[in-house]
Chains A and B, each alone.
Chain A
Amino acid sequence: MTSHTDAIDARDIANLRHVRDLFAHADPAPGDLAERVKFAITVHALHAEVAELMDSALLTTRGAETEVEPTPTESVTFAAASVSLMVSVAPMSTEESDDRVRVDGWVTAPGARVEAVTNEGSSSVVSDANGRFVLDDLPHGPVHFVVTDPANQDVRPVITPTIQV
């Protein structure tokens, strides 16, 4: 006989594993829930303005159905009240890095800091006098961009929705 005052044993752990499998199978957490929570935290923490996705040729925003296949990517435009951002994504062609991507972008603000946040962390560049910038050696997967004005800390940052590259 076992009693409720006994220590938890291997059988109990196995039973709980079955319970876990049951609910994980029948009522799974949405696959992108954690990513959406992180995005919400970032927007909140930055007091950021969220840019709207205007149009995209083949790029997909992150959603429940996006785990289908890597989509061939072209370009996408984001717009916020203060700034617009266009990015186009291409595979890097060098032999050792063909699983990496390069982002060519244009932002309606010269000298803006553009940060790409990926699964690996973030990398940032400053746009040139024409608003152009290049971010290379990024991993495939989800990415969102944060645009800030290094010359003026009082301007709210602009954050884009996450896209798949």
Chain B
Amino acid sequence: MTHIPTAPDGIGTRAGRAFAAYRDGERERLSELVDLVTPVLWNAARSQGAAPAVCEDAIQTAFLQLVDRCGSIQEPAAVLGWLVVVVKREVWRLGRGARREVGVEEVPEAPAQQLDPEAQSILSERQRVLWRHVSTLSPRCQELLRVIAFADRPDYAAIAESLGMPVGSIGPTRGRCLQKLRTTLGSDPGWAV
């Protein structure tokens, strides 16, 4: 039989495997899970417009909830999406200083992405051009593209869903957000290489 190369697993799949192994008693696999998903979670948190300290707390809280509720999570394979949902909710809950739990349906939409002046000053010329184009997209598209950019293609659909985007908004098809980015960059002679 010929070996058919398969698409590499996305971080969501690898995170799901690590989490399943952790649930089955391989406690050290949790560390792998944390390493894998922290960049995605950081961007999911920061894209809500909250301060770095709030984002760190939200990520930490999400992992502690994961550990506490470990046995009751229905689909270990979907752990990345679960964490994104909880992080986003926690950012809003901590940000507004409310004690009560915020339901997923109450989580407001992310604002347009902001970079503080200091961050903007360290961008390369090309990144500045890209930032200008990203800023023209709708806030929802900015949030979606920022977060999926830190994941792999097989993860896009699940992440979009956990951010509250309609099913089918991205992956396996391009979806409107990626199409808009492509169009706006394509129309800029300053971007074309």
Contacts and interface: CB of A to CB of B under 8 A. Distances in A.
A121 B179 contact: no
B148 A16 contact: yes
Contact of B173 (A5, A23, A24, A34): A5
In terms of DSSP, what is the predominant structure of the interface of chain B?
helix
A8 B119 contact: no
B123 A15 contact: no
Interface string B13-36: 000000000000000101100110
Interface stretch (B4-12, B39-47, B72-80, B96-104): B39-47
Interface in A1-51: 2-9, 11-13, 15-27, 29-30, 33-34, 36-38, 40-41, 44-45
Given A4-B178, A40-B60, A26 B119 contact: yes
A21 B127 contact: yes
Contacts of B39: 24, 29
A22 B181 CA distance: 14
Contact of B174 (A6, A23, A30, A41): A6
Interface in A36-92: 36-38, 40-41, 44-45
B179 A16 contact: no
B127 A25 contact: yes
B181 A15 contact: yes
A33 B56 contact: yes
Interface residues of A, number: 36
B130 A19 contact: yes
A36 B150 CA distance: 20
Contacts of B64: 40-41, 44
Interface string B40-66: 001100100000100010011001100
A17 B179 contact: no
A40 B59 CA distance: 11
A37 B122 contact: no
A41 B56 contact: no
Contacts of B148: 16
B130 A18 contact: yes
B182 A22 contact: no
Contact of B134 (A2, A13, A19, A44): A19
A7 B122 contact: no
B150 A26 contact: no
A37 B171 contact: no
Given A33-B59, A40-B60, 8 more contacts: A2-B182, A12-B182, A16-B149, A22-B130, A24-B39, A24-B150, A25-B123, A33-B38
28 contacts: A2-B174, A3-B174, A4-B175, A6-B174, A8-B173, A8-B174, A12-B182, A16-B149, A17-B149, A18-B126, A19-B134, A20-B149, A22-B123, A22-B127, A22-B131, A23-B43, A23-B46, A23-B149, A25-B123, A26-B115, A26-B120, A29-B38, A30-B52, A33-B42, A33-B59, A34-B38, A41-B63, A44-B64
